[in-house]
Amino acid sequence: MTKIIEVTGVSKSYGGVIANKDISLSVKKGGITGLIGPNGSGKTTLFNSIVGYHPIDGGSIKFENNEISNMQVQEIARLGMLRTFQQTRIYGEMNCVENMLISLPHRKLTWRERFSSNTKVDYERADHLLEFVGLFEKRFLRSGSLSFGQQKLLEFAMALMNEPTVLLLDEPTAGINPTLINGLIDRLKRANTEFGITLFIIEHNMRVIMNMADTIYCLAHGEMLASGTPDEIQNDQNVVDAYLGAH
Amino acid sequence: MITQKPLFYAGLLALIFVLPFLFPAYGVQLAAMWLMIIVAMTWDMTGGQMGYNSLGNIFFYGTGMYVAALVFIGMSHDIGAYTDASGGGSFQFTDAQYFSGVFFGLIAAGLFCAVSAVVIGMLIFGLRGPYFAIGTLAVAIAAGELVSNWDWVGGGQGIALPIYPGDIDVGKKFFYFLFAGLGVTIFIFLKWLYTTRFGAAINAIRDDEEKAEAMGIHTMWYKLTTWAISAFFVGIAGGLSAFQLIHFEPLESAYQTINLGIFMVVCVLLGGKGTLWGPVIGAIAFHLFKEVTWAYLLGWQWVALGGLIVVTVVYFQDGFLGWVKQQKPEWFGVRVDNGSTENAGTAK
């Protein structure tokens, strides 16, 4: 499989705090890649660097073999690489369907289409994806009134509406009711297999990530600690130590 | 309800048409009310629908006045000589010159303001929240000061324009219908615009601009376009005011930041931000309030106005329509969870 994201030697510090130090990793096209690590190990910082949220101090980030480390958030999003947020971000005043419709891939709209109303096809797609994440019955409710877990599902559905090639998910199961988690794992896998979306996931829930990912990277103190298949990571003494605090 | 709607709009149009004939003595007042409606609706495009509170839209009003007047004069006479004479001298305009000057003056005012909005927007749309508000206010104040020191455009004295050629009552109706026509056009345009993807995109910018960026929406393009459209209409309204007022000067009538510049914001706050009808209702209510207090509470009118603003901001933060929406959400198509969808989200 080809590499769709290639991170080479990326460093990022905030003032004196080194959040990422010389990080290199790659995400395989069509696969599910996991990123784990204790709190404060620099996972979200790395995500932010990849999607152009802040400039990096050094290194290179390539998306489909093009350097993107100097590009802005919107430009990168328009290449087809989207991210969801750890603290869910939806448009709280709009209902679920409106949230979905505004998430249409704007990069594909012509100037005239921006001044047009949404088509029947758009509505059907929105309904279909809301059904896919299990929010169909709630589709006309104000999205801000949904529970946190449901908002996460909505944000996931919005990301799918945007037809991305790569989706970066920042802790998709955090704050979600355990009974919903199984359903979510299933949906993430289906997004990967049915829609062909490459997934790159930050996750704290080991059961979830070990179940889904084909490759896992583990960060600790801003540095790459280990990488490999779920089996290799589970048996890596450094990883176990990092999580138990021995590192 | 559906059958009643066309009837409602037809009745409204008829009312708009007969108003100046019913109240011939109030022709200027009615035109001023339309001006208030226009600046409120256009302010709400950025302030209410897009979440960018501009205190500088008055810049487009003042600039519209000047551009319209200068184009009008320039089409028939030498501008420098005209402004030197300060309205005196023997500068005659034939009827044809007058009407073509008004027409092209208004078009030029709209276009010039739209282009200025794009240029200024590129510089200050990086500012958010109160910084954007102060930044836009600074532009308006600076423009007023610059223009009042520019002799070629009349300096601090402003510009005097010829009066409407013909019967004075016909002239009043002429301007009433131009203002009303512009107002109705903007209303219909916005009613359509807010149903398109464009409307949804600017709402997204208001609700969470960072999310909108992360979803790949061309936020800067939408912001500039929205402000340019808004400025286009305000510029035309400014130009209309110039021809209606006959004489205007830079600080008190053109770049009147503390009067119309603030009034337009108050209108929208009164009626309800981010709604189609809110600015219209707010502008009418505000105009009536202003006229009544200016007529019967002279000397205390600013106190009354201040009181109105305080009451609105403290007790009716979402304005009249916002308050109604809270009471009757179903009238606005907002659905409230009735408990029947409790299990949504669980795996099937």
How far, in Å, CA of B142 to CA of A220, rounded?
Answer: 53
Which residue in B195, B207, B345 is closest to A92 by CB distance? B207
User: What digits encode the pLDDT tens for the residues A27-56?
Assistant: 999 999 999 988 888 999 999 999 999 999
Q: What is the ipTM of this complex?
A: 0.87
* Amino acid identity at B237: A
| Residue B119 phi, psi dihedral angles, 5° rounding | -65, -50
Which residue in B208, B218, B334 is closest to A91 by CB distance? B208
Which pLDDT score is estimated for B143? 94
Residue A62 tokens, joined: 């390539």
Which residue in B211, B334, B340 is closest to A142 by CB distance? B334
Residue A239 tokens, joined: 């990883």
Contact B341 A138 (CB under 8 A): yes
Residues of chain A with CATH 3.40.50.300: 1-80+165-247
CATH topology of domain A1-80+165-247: Rossmann fold (3.40.50)
**Number of Cα atoms under 13 Å in the Cβ half of residue A11:** 10
The yes-or-no verdict on residue B343 having pLDDT over 70 is no
- What distance lies between CA A31 and its chain's CA centroid? 13
Put simply, the chain A residues between 6 and 45 with a CB less than 8 A from any chain B CB are none
Report how many helices (DSSP H) and strands (DSSP E) chain A contains, helices first: 10, 10
The yes-or-no verdict on residue B217 having pLDDT over 80 is yes
Q: Determine the Cα angle at A77 with ends A118 and A199, to 5°.
A: 100
Residue B187 tokens, joined: 């209303």
Parallel, antiparallel, or unpaired for β A66-67 and A81-83?
A: unpaired
Report how many helices (DSSP H) and strands (DSSP E) chain B contains, helices first: 13, 2
Residue B56 tokens, joined: 């500088």
| B283 burial via Cβ count (<10 Å: 0-12, 13-18, 19+) | buried
A199 touches chain B (CB under 8 A): no
User: What digits encode the pLDDT tens for the residues B244-272?
Assistant: 999 999 988 899 988 899 999 999 999 99
Q: Determine the Cα angle at B216 with ends B210 and B221, to 5°.
A: 85
A181 touches chain B (CB under 8 A): no
Residue positions counted in chain A: 247
pLDDT classification of B338: cutoffs 50, 70, 90 = low
Which pLDDT score is estimated for B337? 61
Contact B214 A89 (CB under 8 A): yes
Q: Is B177 helix (H, G, I), strand (E, B) or coil?
A: helix
Which pLDDT score is estimated for B344? 47
